[in-house]
Structure 1
Amino acid sequence: MNRGSFLKNSALAAGAVLTGNAVLGSTATSCNNDNNLATAAAGKTFNLNYAPHDGMFKNSAGADFLDQIKFMYDQGFRSIEDNGMAGRTAAEQEKIGSLLSKLGMQMGVFVVDKGGNGANTLAAGKQEYIDIFLKGCRQAVEVSKRCGGKLATVVPGDFQRNLPLDIQNANVITALRKGAEILEPHGIVMVLEPLSDTPDLYLRTSAQTYMICKGVNSPSCKILYDMYHMAKNEGNLINNIKLTWDEIGYFQIGDNPGRNEPTTGEVNYKNIFKFLHEKGYKGVLGMEHGNSRPGKEGEQRVIQAYRESDNFIG
């Protein structure tokens, strides 16, 4: 999966692509309208709570993540996400948490360290793998205290193909229940993320993840609905969100193909954002994607794309 490398290279919790004319229009009038929209909205908050990540605005704000967070705030963003938070020093975590608190910003997801992967898949039911996962959950409690984050991403790992699928399901549910017992007293929610990176991954669809969450039966076990991965694995995004709504704890964004900002692929994010707003979603939406263009120009295009896609009221 190599999620950390992706974020470096491209860069709840508490709570789509634009139409063809906006994306493909090449007239000076349409381009000027888009630029005027972004300029007029600069600094204003959005209708939904989008969360950039470390590196997304490094050309505009510098390499220091704290400076990037201040830049994000100035552009109207009110949350961040940081998959690699658990790998930062305690001092870094505390500085980030302090700055977010000062600015009134939220912390989105961070990844539970070794929270299930191909090397220690929870589907296997092996105690040594469960112990690694639970150690990550206990670490997540300490990370949460320092940075203020209450959402922790968990990926159960790969299929254990020598076991019947229902046995694998039972093994995953059993392990996640143990993790929820650690996290629930602290108000931390592990969000399970179905992925598209490889067919070996155990967790692949929203319906499967919904079933697992129902089996765990804890407020500390919900779905991370990454719309990039689900566009690849199952499509029919709005309908599948409706079907699994009561177990969704977090959303992530990325257009497909390319895994870049909205307006660069085929997903109608403007319609999806409108749907989520009408459903009353108040949580964070992580911007877990790259920038389609390099440098400061590309970073401004990311901001502009969110202004365009967030412009669904009226």
Structure 2
Amino acid sequence: MTEFPGRTPHTPIAVNIEMWFEGDFVERIEQAAALGFPAIELWTWRDKDLVAGAAALRKHGMTATQFTAWGFGQQINHPDFPKEDFVAEISAACDAAELLPGCELMTVVAGDNIPGLSKEQMHAAVIDKLTAALPVLAAKRKMIIVEPMNPYNHPDHCLYGSADGVAICKAVNSPWVRLNWDLFHMQRSEGNLIDNLEMHREWIGYVQFADSPGRNEPGTGEVNYSEVFKRARELELPLPFGAECLPLGGDARRAAERLYQTDLKSGQ
């Protein structure tokens, strides 16, 4: 096996340091660098030393693709939650992204179901908040990527699958709002991965992946990721792709080796 399996031959990968490694922010970056990954992604940012992390990334010639600016809860999708508070948090997240080399994206999670509100009402509230944040995003040149979930791993959530995600993007109608197209969630929600990538390519701001159903690395489940990666590159989807998956058995090197082999086959 190659010494640096994170240097995949055809599809650059941003490894999710929260799921793959342990330790503080810098320690996780060092572990990603030791496997050869060119980029990372992360979840929360307020609990991390971003300046130290940025220095570690630059030392290794690495970038950060994205982090979570707004996570789970019942605020963004509630009509009564002040959109000014959402905009303020997005503005702070844009400033945080400026510290990390290459970071131009931030994930927003649409929220958990709210008793008494319909899906349409919750989605309308999400659209209202995203629209309010557009001037900040445009001024700071950062993109929100909204992430649809799946009902098996995230029951009682308000946003599943491609159709509703695309509808939200169309309603906001801005190049600064696209989808975090997590292939794991899409497989669990609706399948038909390649066709849906082709149909909705213009609304995809970022691609994440994990094999299904275990959410481990490619090569451990039911998805033919070699073919998916190949078609995704042909569609010129944004790179790197995010490895938001759990290494099987906790073995990060073995997971990186499986990922390398999967991507190697994608070039054949």
Aligned pair partner of 1:303 in 239, 249, 256: 256
Structure with bigger RCO (C-alpha 8 Å, 6+ apart): 1
**Cα offsets for 1:69-122 (capped at 9, x unmatched):** 24433433111001122332xxx101212232343322122111xx263331x3
CA distance in 1, matches of 2:162, 2:206: 12
SS at 2:206's partner residue? strand
Match of 1:12 in 2: none
SS at 1:304's partner residue? helix
User: 1:261 touches 1:302 (CA, 8 Å); kept in 2?
Assistant: yes
Match of 2:61 in 1: 104
What is the 5 A alignment of 1:170-189? 170-189=124-143
Larger radius of gyration: 1
**Cα offsets for 1:37-60 (capped at 9, x unmatched):** x337657453112111325554xx
Aligned pair partner of 2:80 in 104, 123, 126: 126
CA distance in 1, matches of 2:6, 2:162: 35
Provide closer, same or farther for how the CA distance between residues 123 and 67 of structure 1 changes in structure 2, counting only shifts above 3 A.
Answer: closer
What is the 5 A alignment of 1:34-73? 38-39=1-2, 42=5, 44-54=7-17, 58=21, 63-73=23-33
Match of 2:116 in 1: 162
TM-score (norm 2): 0.89
Match of 1:16 in 2: none
Name whichever structure is richer in strand by fraction.
Answer: 2
Aligned pair partner of 1:215 in 171, 194, 208: 171
Match of 1:250 in 2: 206
What is the Cα deviation at residue 277 of structure 1?
1.7
**Cα offsets for 1:137-188 (capped at 9, x unmatched):** 0210221122232111101212345345444333221111112222221111
The alignment of Structure 1 onto Structure 2 pairs a total of residues equal to 264
CA distance in 2, matches of 1:78, 1:225: 20
Matching residue's letter, 1:78: P
SS at 2:249's partner residue? coil
Matching residue's letter, 2:135: E
Matching residue's letter, 2:240: V
Check if 1:137 corresponds to 2:90: yes
Matching residue's letter, 1:141: C
SS at 2:245's partner residue? coil
SS at 2:180's partner residue? strand
User: 2:18 touches 2:42 (CA, 8 Å); kept in 1?
Assistant: no
CA distance in 1, matches of 2:90, 2:138: 11
Structure 2 gaps of 5+ residues are: none
Provide closer, same or farther for how the CA distance between residues 49 and 43 of structure 1 changes in structure 2, counting only shifts above 3 A.
Answer: closer
Structure 1: which 4+ aligned runs deviate by more than 4 Å? 40-45, 55-58
Q: CA RMSD in A?
A: 2.2
What is the Cα deviation at residue 67 of structure 1?
4.0
Matching residue's letter, 2:87: L
**Cα offsets for 1:281-307 (capped at 9, x unmatched):** 34221111111113xxx2221111111
Aligned pair partner of 1:273 in 222, 225, 229: 229
CA distance in 1, matches of 2:19, 2:116: 41
SS at 1:202's partner residue? coil
CA distance in 1, matches of 2:31, 2:9: 15
Identity fraction in percent: 30
TM-score (norm 1): 0.77
